[in-house]
């Protein structure tokens, strides 16, 4: 195989002078290790008897799956050893986590993550994922404060996801484009299979949970109505629809063949701002989508411009192929 391994890719990035990738390389190596362990835990779930739900609810008020907690523990352990991460925020932890044994010197980072995205799919053998975002720890101190995590998405220095699908794929950006690596299970090594991923500006495929139609705001209903009208409608083209119910799988599909993904604010989720979480779902995916030439918005502002006020804050999400995002967003500002 003449594809570079993840380690060889980092050497290449050094030669290309992409300093942010070089800076993130050790951290990304640890994340890659975590994702390999998570892939194995998911793969073994039915055999190990870990596919069930727990009695517990997470801070989102959602019933936790056993694997939500297992994947959370794996991610924390694998990323705590090197000592360069000061604190972590996870979907599965109400409060942020302070890493106990940190190195005494060097830049410190904050790691924000959704350890198991799409966990309702895990026991029906449909793709799930892990999403992560990296921020600088502003204080540089061993004890980050909650406010240190409340940075807008444009402050991210790295973001990525692992998709546990027909193969395990790790996709990330450090601000130098988007690259995807497939896990070779024979050698337990990631190889670069999806260099410089780009999202086509135009698409005729949308992803939304249509069963929520009656709860959406009028601009989103109008956008989808027009998609459904096909060639005869305002878009002038027929649309196809997909809904996996794993954001990672949807965004990966969009990176590979285009599309627009929406989880808009709706009347049930209005008071909480939407369904998807800003810090560890919407922001990292926005960074990736933007680096691949796509766009992302809450409907009212660019996702990465939102100033967070709480760790588990939620937002409306419209992201993917640029021209469709622009069209959907324009309806939110339109008076007609
Ligand atoms: P999680 O499993 O981490 O809670 O995330 C699930 C999210 C997202 O991945 C997906 O797009 C959406 O929830 C699915 O929601 P519905 O079940 O409402 O369609
Ligand atoms: Mn999720
Ligand atoms: Mn999750």
Asked if the model's pLDDT at residue 197 lies above 60, the reply is yes
Indicate the pLDDT class of residue 113, thresholds 50, 70 and 90: very high
The domain of 179 spans 6-194
Asked if the model's pLDDT at residue 212 lies above 90, the reply is yes
| CATH code of the domain containing 262 | 3.40.190.80
What spacing in Å lies between the alpha carbon of 22 and ligand 1's midpoint? 33
Residue ending a domain, choose from 170, 194, 218: 194
Nearest 5°: phi and psi at 303? -55, -40
Instruction: Check whether residue 212 and residue 95 sit in a common domain.
Output: no
Predicted local distance difference test score (pLDDT) of residue 48: 96
Note whether residue 185 is domain-resident.
yes
Instruction: Check whether residue 187 and residue 222 sit in a common domain.
Output: no
Note whether residue 200 is domain-resident.
no
Predicted local distance difference test score (pLDDT) of residue 335: 57
Whole-model pTM? Answer: 0.97
Indicate the pLDDT class of residue 117, thresholds 50, 70 and 90: very high
Instruction: Check whether residue 161 and residue 235 sit in a common domain.
Output: no
Cα–Cα distance measured from residue 83 to residue 81, given in angstroms and rounded to the nearest whole number: 6
Residue ending a domain, choose from 194, 225, 249: 194
Instruction: Check whether residue 181 and residue 282 sit in a common domain.
Output: no
Predicted local distance difference test score (pLDDT) of residue 141: 66
Classify the C-alpha dihedral 8-10-15-16 as positive or negative: positive
Asked if the model's pLDDT at residue 106 lies above 90, the reply is no
Predicted local distance difference test score (pLDDT) of residue 102: 83
| CATH code of the domain containing 48 | 3.30.540.10
Q: How much is the average pLDDT of 239-266? A: 98
Of the CA atoms within 13 Å of residue 109, those in its CB half-sphere come to 24
Angle between helices 247-257 and 283-291 (to 10 degrees): 10
Residue ending a domain, choose from 194, 222, 252: 194
Note whether residue 335 is domain-resident.
no
Q: How much is the average pLDDT of 320-330? A: 98
Q: How much is the average pLDDT of 84-111? A: 93
Task: Provide the mean pLDDT of the chain.
Answer: 95
Percent of the chain whose predicted confidence (pLDDT) is above 70: 99
**Where is pLDDT greater, at 336 or 149?**
149
Coil, helix or strand for 119? helix
Asked if the model's pLDDT at residue 191 lies above 80, the reply is yes
Predicted local distance difference test score (pLDDT) of residue 201: 98
Instruction: Check whether residue 157 and residue 237 sit in a common domain.
Output: no
Q: pLDDT for 170-188, tens place per residue?
A: 999 999 999 999 999 999 9
Q: Tell me the best of 62, 89, 276, 296 to mutate to test the pocket of ligand 1, counting ligand atoms within 8 Å of each CB and taking the most.
A: 276
Asked if the model's pLDDT at residue 92 lies above 70, the reply is yes
Asked if the model's pLDDT at residue 240 lies above 60, the reply is yes
Instruction: Check whether residue 10 and residue 127 sit in a common domain.
Output: yes
Note whether residue 58 is domain-resident.
yes
Q: pLDDT for 42-78, tens place per residue?
A: 999 999 999 999 887 877 778 899 999 999 999 999 9
Instruction: Check whether residue 209 and residue 188 sit in a common domain.
Output: no
Q: Tell me the best of 54, 91, 118 to mutate to test the pocket of ligand 1, counting ligand atoms within 8 Å of each CB and taking the most.
A: 118
What spacing in Å lies between the alpha carbon of 294 and ligand 1's midpoint? 21
Q: pLDDT for 123-157, tens place per residue?
A: 999 999 999 999 999 876 678 999 999 999 999 99
Instruction: Check whether residue 224 and residue 135 sit in a common domain.
Output: no
Note whether residue 225 is domain-resident.
yes
Note whether residue 14 is domain-resident.
yes
Those residues whose beta carbon sits under 5 angstroms from the ion ligand 3 are 91, 114, 116-117
Instruction: Check whether residue 121 and residue 180 sit in a common domain.
Output: yes
Instruction: Check whether residue 106 and residue 43 sit in a common domain.
Output: yes
Note whether residue 189 is domain-resident.
yes
* Site residues for ligand 1, CB cut-off 6 Å: 62, 91, 114, 117-120, 209, 245-247, 263
Domain count across the chain: 2
Cα–Cα distance measured from residue 97 to residue 170, given in angstroms and rounded to the nearest whole number: 24
Which of 34-38, 141-145, 146-150, 325-329 is predicted with the least confidence, judged by mean pLDDT? Answer: 141-145
Q: How much is the average pLDDT of 307-328? A: 98
Note whether residue 199 is domain-resident.
no
Got the DSSP string for 245-286?
A: S-HHHHHHHHHHH--EEEE--BTTTGGGT-SEEIIIIIHHHH
CB 108 within 8 A of CB 86: yes
Instruction: Check whether residue 260 and residue 318 sit in a common domain.
Output: yes
Instruction: Check whether residue 45 and residue 152 sit in a common domain.
Output: yes
Q: pLDDT for 276-306, tens place per residue?
A: 999 999 999 999 999 999 999 999 999 999 9
């Amino acid at each position: 195989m003449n594809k570079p391994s993840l380690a060889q890719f980092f050497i290449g990035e050094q030669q290309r002078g992409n300093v942010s990738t070089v800076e993130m390389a050790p951290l990304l190596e640890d994340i890659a290790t975590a994702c390999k362990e998570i892939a194995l835990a998911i793969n073994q779930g039915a055999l190990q008897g870990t596919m069930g739900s727990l009695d517990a609810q997470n801070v989102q008020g959602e019933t936790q799956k056993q694997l939500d907690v297992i994947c959370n523990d794996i991610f924390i352990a694998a990323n705590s050893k090197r000592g360069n991460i000061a604190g972590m925020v996870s979907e599965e932890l109400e409060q942020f986590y302070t890493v106990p044994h940190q190195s005494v010197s060097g830049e410190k980072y904050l790691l924000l993550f959704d350890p198991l995205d799409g966990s309702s799919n895990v026991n029906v053998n449909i793709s799930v994922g892990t999403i992560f975002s990296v921020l600088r720890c502003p204080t540089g101190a061993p004890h980050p404060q909650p406010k240190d995590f409340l940075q807008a998405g444009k402050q991210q220095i790295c973001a990525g996801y692992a998709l546990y699908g027909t193969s395990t794929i790790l996709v990330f950006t450090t601000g130098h484009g988007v690259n995807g690596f497939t896990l070779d299970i024979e050698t337990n090594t990631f190889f670069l299979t999806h260099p410089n991923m780009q999202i086509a500006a135009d698409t005729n495929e949308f992803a939304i949970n249509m069963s929520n139609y009656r709860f959406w705001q009028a601009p989103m209903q109008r956008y989808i109505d027009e998609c459904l009208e096909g060639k005869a409608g305002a878009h002038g083209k027929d649309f196809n629809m997909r809904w996996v119910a794993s954001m990672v799988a949807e965004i990966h599909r969009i990176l590979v063949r285009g599309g627009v993904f929406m989880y808009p604010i709706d009347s049930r989720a209005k008071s909480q701002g939407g369904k998807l979480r800003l810090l560890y779902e919407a922001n990292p995916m926005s960074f990736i989508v933007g680096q691949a030439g796509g766009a992302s918005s809450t409907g009212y502002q660019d996702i990465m411009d939102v100033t967070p006020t709480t760790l588990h804050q939620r937002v409306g999400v419209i992201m993917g192929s640029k021209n469709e995002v622009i069209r959907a967003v324009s309806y939110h500002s339109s008076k007609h």
